[in-house]
Amino acid sequence: MRGVRVAAVALCGVGGLSGAMYGLLTGQGKRARTLIGQSTGDPHRADGVYAGSGAGELKFAVLGDSLAAGYGAENADLLPGVLLARGLAEETGRSVRLTTYARVGANTRTFVSQVDKAVTDPPDLALVIIGGNDVTGKMRVSTSAALLGVEVARLRSAGAAVVVATCPDLGTVRPIPQPLRWVVRRWARMLARAQRNAVLRAGGVPVPMGELVSSEFHVRYSELFSPDRFHPNGAGYRHASDILLAPLCRAVT
């Protein structure tokens, strides 16, 4: 995800911001961007076929932002796509052909181009992880959720089963100071709820990742985050993948 911006300015639903509070949050946003820095370089890539013990092939696509791409993982074996492809191969017995469309910095608007590519050779199963950059980029919750719903429906119409990991809890990111961290946490949770509803309407399967992993990431912060303190490391991606594997398996059985 790109550097944190002052999402608080657009979150006026929590009440009007005084000039002093506006200035405080703006300053905190700049400080957070400095501490976290910009995502540079590309994640490891390891697309290909992961052999299963039986017959048949499962086409598995991973779409979304830097979390979907595995930015911060120490090596290709720890990318979420790879972890999940191997898990799917083991659980289903089918060989899994992994294709990663996810890109660092993607938001739900730019996510459309990933779906454009995916539907040209439709996957059997698609995992979508998106939303963090919508929060840091101040996209309206209703707009973000509606766009997601449209793209999930496109994937479903192409024949793919779709599992969506909803917006993570950005309140676990410690370089974001308080009270800005409280604001982005609230926004992320609002978006996750809206995403859940949009995904269900579109025929997908939402997984509330913020609810399921935030406490572990909070307690084991130094163990599960990469050196930028914003993206998970390999252990963090493994923890998240362990949670995502079961709903992915259910989606294709």
pLDDT for the residue 38: 55
The structure tokens listed for 47 are: 């697309």
Residue 205, burial from CB neighbour count under 10 angstroms (0-12, 13-18, 19+): middle
The structure tokens listed for 95 are: 């060989």
Q: Are strands 125-129 and 57-64 parallel, antiparallel or unpaired?
A: parallel
Rounded to the nearest angstrom, the gap between the alpha carbon of residue 72 and the centroid of all alpha carbons in its chain is 13
Q: Does position 2 have pLDDT exceeding 80, yes or no?
A: no
Name the one residue in this structure whose structure tokens are 């390999």: 234
Mean local confidence (pLDDT), 198-212: 98
Mean pLDDT is lowest, of 56-70, 92-106, 172-186, for 172-186
150 or 10, higher pLDDT: 150
Mean local confidence (pLDDT), 36-57: 81
Q: Does position 220 have pLDDT exceeding 90, yes or no?
A: yes
Residue 183's pLDDT band (cuts 50, 70, 90): confident
Mean local confidence (pLDDT), 53-70: 96
Asked whether the CA dihedral 198, 199, 203, 206 is positive or negative, the reply is negative
The set of residues, in sequence order, having a beta carbon less than 8 Å from that of 143 and lying 6+ positions away, is 108
134 labelled catalytic: no
66 labelled catalytic: yes
Tens of pLDDT, residues 80-113: 999 999 999 999 999 999 999 999 999 999 999 9
Mean pLDDT is lowest, of 31-40, 70-79, 215-224, for 31-40
Question: pTM for this one?
Answer: 0.86
19 or 228, higher pLDDT: 228
- List the catalytic residue out of 47, 226, 228, 239: 228
Q: Are strands 161-165 and 48-50 parallel, antiparallel or unpaired?
A: unpaired
pLDDT for the residue 178: 80
- Reduced to 3 states (helix: H, G, I; strand: E, B; else coil), residue 48 is strand
231 labelled catalytic: yes
Name the residue ranges covered by the structural domains of the chain. Answer: 7-251
The set of residues, in sequence order, having a beta carbon less than 8 Å from that of 51 and lying 6+ positions away, is 89, 95
Of the candidates 130, 104, 82, 62, which has an alpha carbon nearest to the alpha carbon of residue 238? 82
pLDDT for the residue 9: 44
Q: State how far the Cα of 248 lies from the Cα of 84, in Å rounded to an integer.
A: 9
Q: Does position 253 have pLDDT exceeding 90, yes or no?
A: no
| Mean pLDDT, the chain, integer | 87
Q: Does position 34 have pLDDT exceeding 60, yes or no?
A: no
Q: State how far the Cα of 182 lies from the Cα of 20, in Å rounded to an integer.
A: 17
74 or 33, higher pLDDT: 74
Q: What is the DSSP letter of 204?
A: -
The CATH classification number of 7-251 equals 3.40.50.1110
- List the catalytic residue out of 39, 66, 144, 214: 66
Q: Are strands 125-129 and 95-100 parallel, antiparallel or unpaired?
A: unpaired
228 or 126, higher pLDDT: 126
pLDDT for the residue 36: 45
The structure tokens listed for 113 are: 């181009």
